[in-house]
Amino acid sequence: MKPKTIIRNIAECKLCGDVIESKSVHHCIACKCGEIYTDGGKDYLHRGAMHDLDNIIDRSEYKEQK
């Protein structure tokens, strides 16, 4: 499996439908209902949820490294 580079760090909340994007390393952003958050920008994916990690839908975009 080839390593991937993060192009966009995006997550969607299954509860409120909010789509959120972390745009830089320490840019932690939560959805409007507060259930999920994402952090890390293009450097890493750090996700969390107040109640259930299954409420996170990964919408991130990647590019495979050669």
Q: Domain limits of the chain?
A: 4-64
The answer to pTM > 0.75 is: yes
pLDDT of 57 reads 98
pLDDT of 38 reads 97
**Tokens standing for 46?**
């750090």
Is 42's pLDDT higher than 90? yes
> Cα 12–39–29 angle (5° rounding)?
60
pLDDT of 2 reads 76
pLDDT tens for each residue of 3-36: 889 999 999 999 999 999 999 999 999 999 999 9
22 phi/psi in degrees, rounded to 5: -90, 125
Alpha-helical segments (H) within the chain: none
6 phi/psi in degrees, rounded to 5: -75, 125
Give residue 64's pLDDT band: very low, low, confident or very high (50, 70, 90): confident
Alpha carbon distance 65, 4 (integer Å): 6
> Coil, strand or helix: which one is 53?
helix
